[in-house]
Amino acid sequence: MAATAQLDVRAQFPTLQRDGVAYLDSAATSQTPDVVLAAMDDYYRHHRASVHRGTYPLASEATDLFEGARTRIAAFVNWAARDTVFTRNASEALNVVAHGWGRRHVGPGDRILVTRMEHHSNFVPWWMLAKETGAELVEVPVDDEGVLDLDVLDGLLPGAKVLAVAHVSNVVGTINPIAEIVRRARAAGVVTVVDGSQAVPQMPVDLGALDADFYAWTGHKAYGPTGVGVLHGRHDLLLDTEPLIGGGHMISSVSFDEVRWAAPPARFEAGTSAIAEVIGLGAAVDWLAELGMENVRAHEVDLTAYALERLGAEEDVTLHGPLDVERRGALISFALKGVHPHDVSEILGRRGVCVRAGHHCAQPLMQHLGESATTRASFAVHTAREEIDALVDGLAEVRRIFA
């Protein structure tokens, strides 16, 4: 199907029916379309039971809905369902890797590579692992545009154990060439842990082609509910990863002498899962697949180009990240000269324009940019150009107040 630039889905989002709301904060969390709410409501009203345990029809229905969602969520990114683990969020997924895999494979003096653009979710767990094991945390730098230099990366890879890298930066929007990074890392024997939280909702993601060792993302940014994250891993590596939480469902046998883990994904899913949330996320990826991820990307590229043009025309606005839309995701961090981002976002908020201000949980990157905070506008399938106009008009008011 040829990509079309304009999607017309706004009417499907209950929150967006509020008057005068320009929701430009989907990079923080997305809005929820009716189909996702309906899928969760259907589970609670008609199929509620625990999964994987009961043998009565209601329990089988719930299990089918839950495991069916896993199959479709895995297929959405072209990965095997058995190697697709549900967690609470992306942070938990990355902690499973850093601690469950890392404690087994990383020791004193080993090098852990982490890019300067990581969200704290793919930074702090590695920092913790380094502290715990005596490994060395090594920065993979970014340039002034917020882009990784692969030649520099090449110099850091030999002898390293693991590389933590974002697919798309949540601050500067950079899209990293993951397939190429994985190819180089694998040639050097380095395991790749990719944070796809910003990528999966925005663009086609084919994990079979990217070939990363671990790939994490989060439901609440992908039009799904809060409370569910996803970890995909290579089967042999998941088998070689310890669970972080013990309890029901994650074992194959238990005695006073010995506990044996179940195979993945159950091994990492102790206790009762976020059943309704997984079912909701299944509905979200069905809905995205129906829209076509090429169309989602085309729509958001169009909006990002428009926003870069409009904001770039303002003399007192500094834009962060690559200016080439093909190399960036659908978000823009910027500074308005002389006004703190919190003031910018508060005044915009009073006008219904919802943007995020702060360090975006990426303080090492902010230190590199020389900013303590930025204002960030992010775009989604339902965003319209008029909302970007409302943002730019709002900046005029910010200037009036601070003049």
Say if residues 84 and 70 touch (Cβ distance below 8 Å): yes
Packing angle, helices 275-291 and 293-312, rounded to 10? 80
Cβ contact 207:73 at 8 Å: no
Among 125, 173, 225, 229, binds ligand PLP (CB under 6 A): 229
Nearer to ligand PLP, 277 or 387 (CB): 277
Q: Under rule CB under 6 A, how many of the chain's residues touch ligand PLP?
A: 13
What is the rounded CA–CA span in Å between residue 329 and residue 174? 6
Tokens found for residue 164: 């933590």
Phi and psi at residue 392, to the nearest 5°: -65, -40
User: Contact, 223 vs 32, CB < 8 A?
Assistant: yes
Residue range at the interface with ligand PLP (CB under 6 A); choices 49-57, 75-83, 195-203, 309-317: 195-203
For residue 84, CA distances in Å to 80, 278, 378 come to 7, 12, 28
Q: Does 22 contact ligand PLP by CB under 6 A?
A: no
Placement of tokens 């979200």 in the chain: 284
Smallest distance from ligand PLP to CB 35, Å: 21
Tell whether residue 121 is a contact of ligand PLP (CB under 6 A).
Answer: yes
For residues 151 and 127, the answer to whether their CB atoms sit within 8 Å is no
Near ligand PLP by CB under 6 A: residue from 197, 273, 345, 383: 197
Positions 327 through 366 that interact with ligand PLP (CB under 6 A)? 361
When binding is defined by CB under 6 A, the residue of 84, 115, 176, 198 that contacts ligand PLP is: 198
CA angle, residues 351, 357, 363, in degrees to nearest 5: 175
Among 119, 234, 299, 328, binds ligand PLP (CB under 6 A): 119
Catalytic amino acids? 361
The yes or no reply on residue 387 touching ligand PLP (CB under 6 A) is no
Range in contact with ligand PLP (rule: CB under 6 A) among 84-92, 184-192, 322-330, 369-377: 84-92
Residue 273 contacts ligand PLP per CB under 6 A: no
Q: What residue ranges bind ligand PLP (CB under 6 A)?
A: 89-91, 119, 121, 166, 170, 195, 197-198, 218, 229, 361
